[in-house]
Amino acid sequence: MENTTSKVVIITGASSGIGEATAKLLAKQGAKIVLAARREDRLQAIVNDIKQEGGEAVYFTTDVTSQQDTQELAQFALKQYGRIDVLVNNAGVMPVSRLNELRVEEWEHMIDVNIKGVLYGIAAVLPAMREQQNGHIINVSSVAGHSVSPTSAVYSATKFAVRAISEGLRQEESPTSNIRSTIISPGITDSELINTVKSPEVQAMASHFSSLSISPYRIAGAIAYAIHEPEDTGINEIVIRPTAQSM
């Protein structure tokens, strides 16, 4: 926990689910939180919750599919706190469906949020972290980034990409810039991701997914663990899923 105190942490997708849980947990552990998402009312409410618990947090309304927004987010964090210690690239969407449903717009949206959003986040914070010669970028992938199942082809492709980007970042930056890279791959988690699904076939399975889901605070705890470790130690990848989940 000592390694988290006073660290400046940007969290995207912070208006609900894993992002919200991570913000609240890290704030309790003494981090300074910069929440980012599109829903300003939710961000404001979470900031208020954190402050009422004695934590420190601010927010910046951000669409991660906009490189300008993510650049402005990083500049906002630097203006507020003078440095960026951790970026949690958590924003994501999961409108899974079979390829033959031809939901091309949904494919493009997943690519924009899940891949480009991660890259834009890295591009926004990397210069400051390299100047500091210190930092930590945590990218949220998925168990779907380890294996593919029917309906998950495009979503899995985006999450495999997140893992590839994270490993490339580690190889390029950790040895020379002391920037740590962590991949978090959650299984079925209680979040709003299922709300992005439009495929009738997948919607019919929603209750089964819900019955297996674990609290987003389980994922937040894994993120906190990776941050807590001493600077000479990189927790490069964590897979965390419900005990009852088979895939």
Catalytic machinery residues: 155
Long-range contacts of 28-32 (CB under 8 A, 24+ apart): 28/53, 28/55, 29/1, 29/4, 29/5, 29/224, 30/1, 30/4, 30/5, 30/6, 31/4, 31/5, 31/6, 31/7, 31/56, 31/86, 31/227, 32/6, 32/7, 32/8, 32/56, 32/57, 32/81
CA dihedral 53, 55, 59, 63 (to 10 degrees): -90
- What is the rounded distance in angstroms from the CA atom of residue 216 to the CA atom of residue 20? 8
- What is the rounded distance in angstroms from the CA atom of residue 195 to the CA atom of residue 222? 24
Closest alpha carbon to 29 in 12, 58, 53: 53
Helical axes 117-132 vs 67-81, angle rounded to 10°: 30
Q: Are 91 and 18 in contact (CB under 8 A)?
A: no
